[in-house]
Chains A and B, each alone.
Chain A
């Protein structure tokens, strides 16, 4: 039974791809298809980052080690969707026209912070293998704490690009705050 668990979660993680494929082939992307694709993968990136961040608290709450097995996969999916998100923006929306793109990255703070978050995800994706964990030893954990900064950048990216914080950006912000607060508390527990 447990052997099937990981592949099942993997297939489930491809959900955003199923949705968008369906919408592309059945002409359901709506009046602004490019915008729809960019936003779709942007939102799913944030969801996967939050899911990744939820594994450690879930392990502590349920006292089950099972959760942590999925952390790497979820994190890599976050990077995967972040890359599609960025690529669709660069390729579909701006057609690899780098002049306005560079202008955007430098002038628009939400793009700057979003792009930074994606850059920071790269070293984490590269060092995600078991081999790298062994090579980096203690530094691995330090390096992978970058995910806290990435998650904050990601949510700020969403807040800043929205005309108002209501409602989706606010929901992501609240969940992120809860996930980060849970960590502070746990460390206190460990000390006592």
Chain B
């Protein structure tokens, strides 16, 4: 998995048709007869093939809309994303309040990136977006800024999940400043060539391909440059389970899930788990950010 694959994507409809055909074949034959492909040598044949639009937009975690993975799709339909402003503040010379239209004016490109969820599944998503550094360059960052904090909108009227104390709302995520400035750290504005659907974090989300999915905050209203490490939502909920860095790392097990392997979303019942790669396969691009760091301690 290399960075930005601008390769041709199979047209969505044909792609989905083909996928469902393969799937139904798989189910027809299988269910009792398990394949004997050994897990360890298993390799996905089509890692670069994007997950279907259907799966990307109907199966994801967005706890603001509920804890089930089908909840965001069902409950985000009427989520209000206009008007919307994004504040950039904190350790900056002059804070900035940008209307969403202005952010969307920054030229987006297709970035086919892999998402690895801490729960042990992965998708390949053709995002539309641009590097976060382009957005952050709109302000003058003070040298005292060491971290970047992302804040998701707080709107319990429409985000029914926020009515329950599942996490400390609003959702906070964060990166070290050098991570935030890395070109692979993407501000996402769409997927599959379309506007970003509500359930995937409209109108604006972040995506960091070498970290577990929960690091990539959705529906962002505030970007804050800070001196101290942000108190991120999941670390706050369970520091033993979720670290600040949360880089994809097959060597560091989550207390509940092994992180050595992952299940590819959209594959048939017969498809084996595949091996999880260090930094989700983006090691060549990002490993230098952590040179000298013990990633077992800084999980």
Residues in A lying within 8 Å of B, measured CB to CB = 24-25, 27, 29-35, 37, 91-97, 100, 103-104, 107-110, 160-161, 163-164, 166-167
Task: Enumerate chain A residues within 8 angstroms of B59, measured Cβ to Cβ.
Answer: 30-32
Q: Which of B55, B255, B263, B269 contacts A108 (CB 8 A)?
A: B255
Task: Let me know if B67 is at the binding interface, CB within 8 A.
Answer: yes
| Most central of A25, A33, A167 by chain B CB within 10 Å | A33
**Also in contact, A95 and B35, with CB within 8 A (given A32-B265, A166-B166):** yes
Whether the pair B166, A164 counts as a contact (CB closer than 8 A) is: yes
Whether the pair B260, A27 counts as a contact (CB closer than 8 A) is: no
Whether the pair A96, B121 counts as a contact (CB closer than 8 A) is: no
Closest to B167 in A: A164
Task: Enumerate chain A residues within 8 angstroms of B265, measured Cβ to Cβ.
Answer: 31-32
**A64 to B38 CA separation, bound complex (whole angstroms):** 54
1/0 contact string of B234-246 vs chain A (CB within 8 Å): 0001000000000
- Give the secondary structure class of A's interface: helix
**Also in contact, A27 and B23, with CB within 8 A (given A103-B258, A164-B67, A164-B166):** yes
- Give the secondary structure class of B's interface: loop
Name the distance in Å between B73's Cβ and chain A's nearest Cβ. 11
13 pairs, CB–CB < 8 Å, chain A vs chain B = A24-B27, A25-B27, A27-B20, A27-B24, A31-B55, A32-B263, A92-B269, A94-B273, A95-B34, A108-B257, A160-B256, A163-B119, A167-B67
Task: Let me know if B170 is at the binding interface, CB within 8 A.
Answer: no
Task: Enumerate chain B residues within 8 angstroms of A103, measured Cβ to Cβ.
Answer: 258
Task: Enumerate chain B residues within 8 angstroms of A32, measured Cβ to Cβ.
Answer: 59, 121, 263, 265
Name the distance in Å between A143's Cβ and chain B's nearest Cβ. 32
**A161 to B28 CA separation, bound complex (whole angstroms):** 30
**Also in contact, A33 and B39, with CB within 8 A (given A160-B256, A161-B256):** no
Whether the pair B269, A29 counts as a contact (CB closer than 8 A) is: yes
Task: Enumerate chain A residues within 8 angstroms of B55, measured Cβ to Cβ.
Answer: 31
Task: Enumerate chain A residues within 8 angstroms of B27, measured Cβ to Cβ.
Answer: 24-25, 27, 29, 33
Closest to B161 in A: A166
For window 249-266 of B, CB contacts with A under 8 Å fall at 253, 255-258, 260-261, 263, 265-266
Whether the pair A166, B31 counts as a contact (CB closer than 8 A) is: no
Task: Let me know if B37 is at the binding interface, CB within 8 A.
Answer: yes
Whether the pair A33, B268 counts as a contact (CB closer than 8 A) is: yes
Whether the pair A34, B35 counts as a contact (CB closer than 8 A) is: no
**A96 to B34 CA separation, bound complex (whole angstroms):** 9
Whether the pair B36, A95 counts as a contact (CB closer than 8 A) is: yes
Task: Enumerate chain B residues within 8 angstroms of A163, measured Cβ to Cβ.
Answer: 67, 119
Closest to A33 in B: B269
Name the distance in Å between B157's Cβ and chain A's nearest Cβ. 19
Task: Let me know if B272 is at the binding interface, CB within 8 A.
Answer: yes
| Most central of A25, A31, A34, A108 by chain B CB within 10 Å | A31
Q: Which of B119, B164, B272 contacts A166 (CB 8 A)?
A: B164
Whether the pair B268, A166 counts as a contact (CB closer than 8 A) is: no
**A33 to B267 CA separation, bound complex (whole angstroms):** 8
Task: Enumerate chain B residues within 8 angstroms of A167, measured Cβ to Cβ.
Answer: 67, 164
Whether the pair A91, B34 counts as a contact (CB closer than 8 A) is: yes
For window 185-211 of B, CB contacts with A under 8 Å fall at none
Task: Enumerate chain A residues within 8 angstroms of B272, measured Cβ to Cβ.
Answer: 95
